[in-house]
Amino acid sequence: MTAVDQSPVKGLSVPVRPQEAASFEGADLVVLSPGVPADLEVLQSVRGRGIPVVGDLELASWFLKGEIIGITGSNGKTTTTTMTGHILKASGIPVQVGGNIGTPPSSMVRTSRPGQWNVLELSSFQLETISTFRAHIGAALNVTPDHLDRHYTFEKYAAAKARLFENQRSDDFAVLNADDPVTRGYAEHSAAKSKFFSSTQKVEPDAWLDSERIVLDGERLMSTAEVPLRGVHNLENTMAAAIIARLAGATREQIRAAVMSFPGVEHRLEFVRELEGVAWYNDSKATNVDATLKALAAFPGGLWVILGGKDKNSDYRPLGAAMKEKTRGVLLIGAAADKIENHLHGAVSTVKCGTLEAAVLHAHASARSGDTVLLAPACASFDQFENFEHRGWEFKRLVNELPANRLGKN
């Protein structure tokens, strides 16, 4: 490091040092931020000296009071985590929510209490550095290729997600997507009781989609029309949250009422505005190909899709067929634009816009009444933005500043 920002620890007498071997001399324990790769060469030498290397999640779990609910998955974990917390709170069940969403696990220790549920969204980066961490209820929503720039192979990525279940006991629960072969396979490697959800098949006595209704424990929970979120994937998220909440003590009636009042999650298929008959949606949290496919599936067609950002060693070719069916045009931004255009290979009309602002202006000029403009980038944001939230906020600002009354538009 040539420069170090010491602002977070100013006044705390905490030394700030570069990530090099000399800095770890005399250490009894090394705690990693999730953003630091666990396979750095300097950390291998630390482990070689017998010094434990763990992450923030592992450290926090040593001190958290109350039971832990851990929720992971390539997509949907923010929505499911937030919805679970919303249901428990609305049901009068003590709960706090954090993890990979909002509040870090270590910051939840002070506010944790016996008899309280700690609902944690968990990333593969957090799970790969656990040792004794145990969730009383663990949930895996789906596992599709993501973060291959960090984990290198899909198998290693899936194995990191699987660590959520490795320390569970026979009185714990594993909530798993029966339609995903990877998550379904996690049941074979956990001592916990398996609870399944499915949008394609009956998985009695757990949760499944039966035509236009959600069934929980063999009885109707609610109609799909009562779920205030778009897309089948959000019905799957709802089923997972319902199972978790039921295990945590919520009644069927409390779950249904809470789901119906759930406001959704910012940057997840978030409606921004309608302008001259064109609907604008922000799905900035669609940072991988599967998330973008799920976003496309939530709309009937007439889409102008904004794609691109920082590549994560992704394969964008699976987007081709869905894009051809659903889109009027694809607007490319960011560092991955050339790769995405190459992978789509003429399946759809593409325009290289470069920046988000240029893409919004192009969509505004091109879309007609009845169309939808969707930001679902399938990429990380770090080439042009601080994070996906920053990207989503900027999109909403640009959209809300668009003028109405465009001359010559039908």
Task: Verify whether residue 285 is a known catalytic residue.
Answer: no
Q: What is the pLDDT of residue 22?
A: 86
Q: Which of 75, 100, 167, 234 is catalytic?
A: 100
Residue-wise pLDDT for 202-226, tens only, equals 999 999 999 999 999 999 999 999 9
Look at the pTM and tell me if it is higher than 0.85: yes
Q: Which of 77, 136, 267, 326 is catalytic?
A: 77
Q: Which of 86, 136, 142, 147 is catalytic?
A: 147
Residue whose C-alpha is closest to residue 277's, from 409, 144, 114, 117: 409
Task: Verify whether residue 77 is a known catalytic residue.
Answer: yes
Residues of the chain scoring pLDDT < 50:
1-6, 407-408, 410
Peptide bond into 105 cis (omega under 30): no
DSSP 3-state of 126? helix
Residue-wise pLDDT for 377-409, tens only, equals 999 999 999 999 999 999 999 999 999 865 445
Q: What is the pLDDT of residue 5?
A: 47
Domains in the chain and their CATH numbers?
A: 56-260 (3.40.1190.10), 270-400 (3.90.190.20)
Q: What is the pLDDT of residue 8?
A: 55
Structure-block tokens of residue 165: 């279940």
Segment (H or E) for 83 = helix 77-90
**Burial label, 217 (beta-carbon count in 10 A; 0-12, 13-18, 19+):** middle
